Amino acid sequence: MRQFFTLFLFLLFLQAVQAQLPSKFQGQGSIKAVSTESRPVQRQWKGVFTFPRGDVQFCNQFPAARLNGLTQENDSVYSILITSENTPVNGSPWYAFKVWSKRPRTINIKLTYQQGASHRYNPKVSKNGRNWSAVNGERVKRADDTLSVAYQFRIEVSRDTTWVAAQELYTSADVYKWAAALGRKMSWPLSTIGETHWGRPVMLLKAGNLQSRNRVLIIGRQHPPEVTGQLAEQAFVERVAANDSLATAFRERFLLYVVPLMNPDGVDEGFWRHNAGGVDINRDWQAFHQPETRAMRSLLEKEITGAGNKLWFGLDFHSTHDDIFYIVDPALRGSLPGFIKDWLQAFQQRIPGYEPNIKPLYSEGPTSTSFSYLFKNYGTEALVYEIGDNTSREFIIQKSKVAAEAMMQLLLERVP
Ligand SMILES: [Zn+2]
């Protein structure tokens, strides 16, 4: 009896210890694709918002802007409504707008979202749309509020424009400028693989040896607000472009297909999640109903694979609440057994104190996501590279360098 009591006390103690450990980000649950194709996408009214009282003005007339409604509560409080492109939608309320005032003053801004969506991104401000700093505010929820959890903050405004956004603004023009500059420097061809619903190009940068049959695929930004994933992706590709012996050897033996931005409509329209067809394109890799995923499928079938070409590794860059890697069930065998495990271990070895958060997210069933499609159809070692919304921008770069170096070393060693 006494032994039982001791055991009971010990179990209680264990529970108390566990409760105090910082909990690791659990990642998302199993993937379920919800069809939203029949839900029309709402266009955003664009222009300058003015008020009878005061001289503060807001504007959403620029790429990636999102500001759907605005009311002035009193002389210094403005309430902003942010809604999604259509519903149901993953609750990632993106917003971006400009504000100015004839006379310098302090204003309070309340962000409110459509019902069911909660606040995800704390605001950042900029005076030039390039350099951003975080603003502190607080979450608010009024008892009488029919809208979802809101966020309230205070900023100084003046004649000079102040930019406010959920993350640093990084539009399709910025991405393609980056790709074109890198392409020119490295003599890497930049081409178009297709067009979006609203006629924007989906661009492809081919990096490395154009004659090589050994291929790697990098895709990014299927989800518009995921700027940190974009930053990680670009730093990764830049490491492959570096002027050292490892990168040079890799570029001689491999050909890297980079589709840096899969959803330019969503990015430039300030969408929360979907493309202009109203669909989460990273749930469309089974149905292939959308122009962006169809262009990718055709590129894979006609060019990247087949005729003796082999796609060895595929990375899909995203952002979420915290850094995590979504992988294929390690029990399933791909083209390079052990590659993913060893690649993930490299992070631990090369970044002191860092332990990658890893979650298997595909074992069988429909391949609605890119990485599961690559694995199931081509045996490609594939994963989702997720960066936290608030991961330090320096760490994103550091980690991408390690990721690219480990990939280059392992592929050079193991691909026959
Ligand atoms: Zn995503």
Tell me the Cα Rg of the chain.
Answer: 23
- Kindly state the tokens that stand for 192: 């178009």
Question: Measured in angstroms, how far is the CA atom of residue 109 from the centroid of ligand 1?
Answer: 28
Nearest to 327 by CA among 308, 309, 344, 345: 344
- What residue type is assigned to position 321 of the chain? H
Backbone angles phi, psi at 270, to 5 degrees: 70, 35
Q: How is residue 362 written in tokens?
A: 């595909």
Q: Compute the distance from residue 285 Cα to the ligand 1 centre, in Å.
A: 14
Rounded-to-integer distance, Cα 83 and Cα 105, Å: 28
Give 120 Cα–ligand 1 centroid separation in angstroms: 14
Distance (angstroms) between ligand 1 centre and the Cα of 121 equals 14
Residue 230 Cα, ligand 1 centroid: separation in angstroms? 10
Ligand 1 mean position, distance from CA 220 (Å):
9
Taking the centre of ligand 1 as the mean of its atom positions, its distance from the CA of residue 281, in whole angstroms, is 10
DSSP code string of 358-416 = EEEEESSS---SHHHHHHHHH--EEEEEEEETTS-HHHHHHHHHHHHHHHHHHHHHH--
What is the structure's pLDDT at 2?
57
Per-residue pLDDT of the chain (416 residues; tens, 9 = 90+): 555 555 555 555 445 545 445 578 899 888 777 888 889 999 999 999 999 888 999 999 999 999 999 999 998 999 999 999 999 998 899 999 999 999 999 999 999 998 888 899 999 999 999 999 999 999 887 655 555 668 999 999 999 999 999 999 999 999 999 999 999 999 999 999 999 999 999 999 999 999 999 999 999 999 999 999 999 999 999 999 999 999 999 999 999 999 999 999 999 999 999 999 999 999 999 999 999 999 999 999 999 999 999 999 999 999 999 999 999 999 999 999 999 999 999 999 999 999 999 999 999 999 999 999 999 999 999 999 999 999 999 999 999 999 999 999 999 999 99
DSSP-derived pairing of the beta strands 132-134 and 96-101: unpaired
Whether 228 and 385 have beta carbons less than 8 Å apart is answered as no
Report yes or no: 167 and 263 within 8 Å, Cβ to Cβ: no
> Is the preceding peptide bond at 352 cis, omega within 30 degrees of 0?
no
Task: Give the pLDDT score at 12.
Answer: 53
Q: What is the pLDDT of residue 389?
A: 98
- Token pair 């995923």 is found at 293
**Whole-number pLDDT of residue 17:** 45
Is residue 37 a contact partner of residue 277, using CB atoms and an 8 Å limit?
yes
Distance, in Å, from the CA atom of 248 to the CA atom of 250, rounded to the nearest integer, reads 5
The DSSP H or E segment spanning 105 is strand 105-113
Q: How far does the centroid of ligand 1 lie from the alpha carbon of residue 316, in Å?
A: 9
Q: How many A from CA of 228 to the centre of ligand 1?
A: 10
- The alpha carbon of 315 and the centre of ligand 1 are apart by a number of angstroms equal to 12
Q: How many A from CA of 386 to the centre of ligand 1?
A: 8
List of residues 6+ apart from 51 with CB closer than 8 A: 57, 72
Give the distance (Å) from ligand 1 centre to CA of residue 355: 22
* CA of 129 relative to ligand 1 center, distance in Å: 24
354 alpha carbon – ligand 1 mean position (Å): 23
pLDDT for 31 equals 79
Report the separation in Å between the CA atom of 189 and the middle of ligand 1, taken as the mean of its atom positions. 27
Cα 319 to Cα 325: distance, rounded to the nearest angstrom: 11
- Cα 101 to middle of ligand 1, angstroms: 36
From first CA to last CA, the distance across the chain in angstroms is: 64
- Determine the distance separating the centroid of ligand 1 and the alpha carbon of 160, expressed in angstroms: 34
Q: How far is the CA of 263 from the centre of ligand 1 (A)?
A: 11
pLDDT of residue 7: 54
Sheet holding 105-113, edge to edge: 69-72, 77-82, 105-113, 150-157, 137-140
Going from the Cα of 233 to the center of ligand 1, the distance in angstroms, rounded, reads 13
For the chain, which domains are there? Answer: 48-165 (2.60.40.3120), 172-414 (3.40.630.10)
Helix axes of 245-253 and 227-240: crossing angle, nearest 10 degrees: 90
